[in-house]
Structure 1
Amino acid sequence: MADIVTTRREGAILEVTLDRPKANAIEWTTSKLMGEAFKDFRDDPKLRVAILKTAGDKFFCAGWDLKAAAAGNDRPSDYGVGGFGGIQELRDLNKPVIACVNGMAVGGGFELALSCDLIYASDRSSFALPEIRAGVFADAAAIKLPKRMPYHIAMDLLLTGRWMDVIEAHRWGVVNEVLPKERLEQRVWEIAKLLAGGPPLAFAAIKETVRVAETLSFQDAMNRVARRQFATVDVLYSSEDSIEGPRAFAEKRDPVWKGR
């Protein structure tokens, strides 16, 4: 099981790889392993950016392991600390996570990608929510997808279960960039290194504000920010980094972010 979810650190970047042939489907044990990996990422102050990738060329992730469920080997009520896939419901994950998608992202695999902050995909990728054909629904996608793309297109995907190729996904803004497979990981690491050099406290404030503001009116959200009622915003505005940014600008040098 240790080989199913592996991690690699490079400076402030953590790469998490799911490798569960043939389709990178997730059952409860795999989900728990992923949750522990992302929990460790969240709690390690030396890590600033995570990359989520999977092994193989055909599937990014086939979602929930239906074969394990049919055999009675799955426990869908206990997917671990971060919920399904270890990231979908992980509380206070206020660091950027990049999805490196190559191949088919199906059902929960599509939802896993949607749980990341940025999605970079190979030109071999495609997306689908086929749960409707089994008489169930993709619950996380039903919540997230209409906020990420035009409502009627999201409903089309949810109601019909049809496939969406990567070009269409990019056109609707679901995918940040489409690249040849040979260039994908290099590009993802370029973005990860860019973010790793950025202001971590500002990133945390962005993620918390975006996440909480989804349930608030614009004015309510702005009032909470102004009153520093978001913990990350309060930390940011009281930090050394909030002074370092303007000082570096005035001194015409690159800022040195300390995360404090």
Structure 2
Amino acid sequence: MENDAPLKVWLERDGALLRLRLNKPKANLVDAAMIAALHAALGQYRRHVMLRGVLVDAEGPHFSFGASVEEHLPDRCAAMLTSLHALLLEMLEFPVPVMVAVHGQCLGGGLELALACGRIFAAPSAQFGQPEVKLGVFAPAASALLPYRVNQPDAEDLLLTGRSIGAEDALRIGLVQEVAEDPSVAAKAWFDQHLVGKSAAALACATVAARGVMQKQVRERLAELERLYLDWLMRTHDANEGLAAFLEKRQPAWTHQ
């Protein structure tokens, strides 16, 4: 693995566990380079015969601040959404369980990345949020994925307020499955206890079977939400104003149109 690459990739547990570590601290942005690196790693190991799990974590103090705001601008957002959603569907449809270990901030596209995985392990100080609405936009992938993880009112709370919640609140609503001082260690312990002894072939079939309906519905919903984002939202004044204000480090001047 290359230390200057956006993603560190290696195998553990005699090839049973694929490790993917976001490697652009402190923000670990889910930008075009990170998306391409994750896509390449998943493609490389998708048919690895011994694989029984994937663990995604991150270098530095934070899991991810989310997607690049520059890539949300009107001339780039279509390509960004297409590539991000393709990656999230690839993770959602990956034929072994994908775990994620979160510390620090897990926001926006970073949380969408985690939502496309299976079990989320969080450090006590972890913070989770979808702040897109504060920028005058919304989170298409989270809008499709959150209702599968938490109940509808809690999903709407995160999507409509843009606020962040801590690890214990995330555990309470079902967004997080375990809180641990070292979430990567906790994830590996869960893997060792529950997955490493399973048949890789049986586990692959069980994973596809367990997620089949969700995969189909999320794929269809993402296509609808991309159209809403590109054909409606990005034609509004406020979406463009909110993104510009963030980049210019000023308060947005909403027209509500």
Q: Partner of 1:211 in structure 2?
A: 211
- 1:72-221 aligned at under 5 Å gives the runs 77=79, 83-84=83-84, 87-90=87-90, 92-180=93-181, 183-194=182-193, 195-214=195-214
Looking at structure 2, the residues matched to 188 and 95 of structure 1 have their Cα atoms a distance apart, in angstroms, of 14
- Please state how far the C-alpha of 1:76 moved relative to its aligned partner: 5.2
Contact 2:51/2:200 (8 A) holds in 1: no
1:192-220 C-alpha deviation (Å, 9 max, x unpaired): 23312213233223322232223889xxx
1:105-157 C-alpha deviation (Å, 9 max, x unpaired): 10111111111111101011010101111121111110111121121111111
- Please state how far the C-alpha of 1:45 moved relative to its aligned partner: 1.3
**Structure 2: segments with no counterpart, 5+ residues:** 218-257
26 and 37 in structure 1: CA distance in 2 versus 1, 3 angstrom threshold: same
Looking at structure 1, the residues matched to 154 and 111 of structure 2 have their Cα atoms a distance apart, in angstroms, of 15
Higher relative helix content:
2
Q: Partner of 2:252 in structure 1?
A: none
- For CA contacts below 8 A with separation 6 or more, give which structure has more relative contact order: 2
Of the candidates 9, 21, 26, which is equivalent to residue 22 of structure 1?
A: 26
For normalisation by structure 2, the TM-score amounts to 0.74
Q: Give the secondary-structure state (helix, strand or coil) at the position aligned to 1:188.
A: helix
Aligned-CA RMSD value: 2.5
Select the structure of larger CA radius of gyration: 1
Aligned pairs, how many?
Answer: 210
- Please state how far the C-alpha of 1:75 moved relative to its aligned partner: 6.9
114 and 215 in structure 1: CA distance in 2 versus 1, 3 angstrom threshold: closer
% identity of equivalent residues:
29
2:52 pairs with 1:53: no
- Please state how far the C-alpha of 1:6 moved relative to its aligned partner: 1.0
Equivalent residue letter for 2:69: L
Contact 2:102/2:120 (8 A) holds in 1: yes
Contact 2:128/2:166 (8 A) holds in 1: yes
Looking at structure 1, the residues matched to 77 and 158 of structure 2 have their Cα atoms a distance apart, in angstroms, of 27
- Please state how far the C-alpha of 1:55 moved relative to its aligned partner: 0.6
- Please state how far the C-alpha of 1:40 moved relative to its aligned partner: 1.6
1:26-82 C-alpha deviation (Å, 9 max, x unpaired): 21122101111112221211222111011111x211111124656x8x6751678xx
Q: Give the secondary-structure state (helix, strand or coil) at the position aligned to 1:31.
A: helix
1:145-184 C-alpha deviation (Å, 9 max, x unpaired): 112112111111111101111101000111110011xx32
Contact 1:31/1:85 (8 A) holds in 2: no
Looking at structure 1, the residues matched to 122 and 151 of structure 2 have their Cα atoms a distance apart, in angstroms, of 20
**Structure 1: segments with no counterpart, 5+ residues:** 218-260
